Structure 1
Amino acid sequence: MSATELHWVKSSYSSGPDPGDCLEVAHTPATIHVRDSKTPATAHVTVASATWESFLAYVTE
């Protein structure tokens, strides 16, 4: 699936004084995609859903 086919959602934590500073996330059943809203649509990081869940568990401890 290409980045343009994904449904990108702005993080609720990306609401600082500069509206251009946003983290966006898109997900499929098997993967999570993360990008900076200022980067081109093709510049993003893709990780397995299980990896993302492990990351979130680690940073929210």
Structure 2
Amino acid sequence: MQQDPTQLAKYFEGANFPATGGNLAGVAAGNGAPDEVIDKLREFEGDHFADANKAVEALTEQR
């Protein structure tokens, strides 16, 4: 995903961590994240992220 990590982290403002990908998808949607980011987060539904940095790492990994 070609997104600026700093911008990605802003989509998680207000999230309570640890959080699942599904939880973060909802927070990101409320913070105006593009559909590409929301869809990718939904792919991580069963995964738990300790903090925003871990979620950003997952989003920016090449899969």
Q: TM (normalized to structure 2)?
A: 0.31
User: Which has the bigger relative contact order, CA under 8 A and spacing at least 6?
Assistant: 2
Q: TM (normalized to structure 1)?
A: 0.31
**Higher helix content, 1 or 2:** 2
**Higher strand content, 1 or 2:** 1
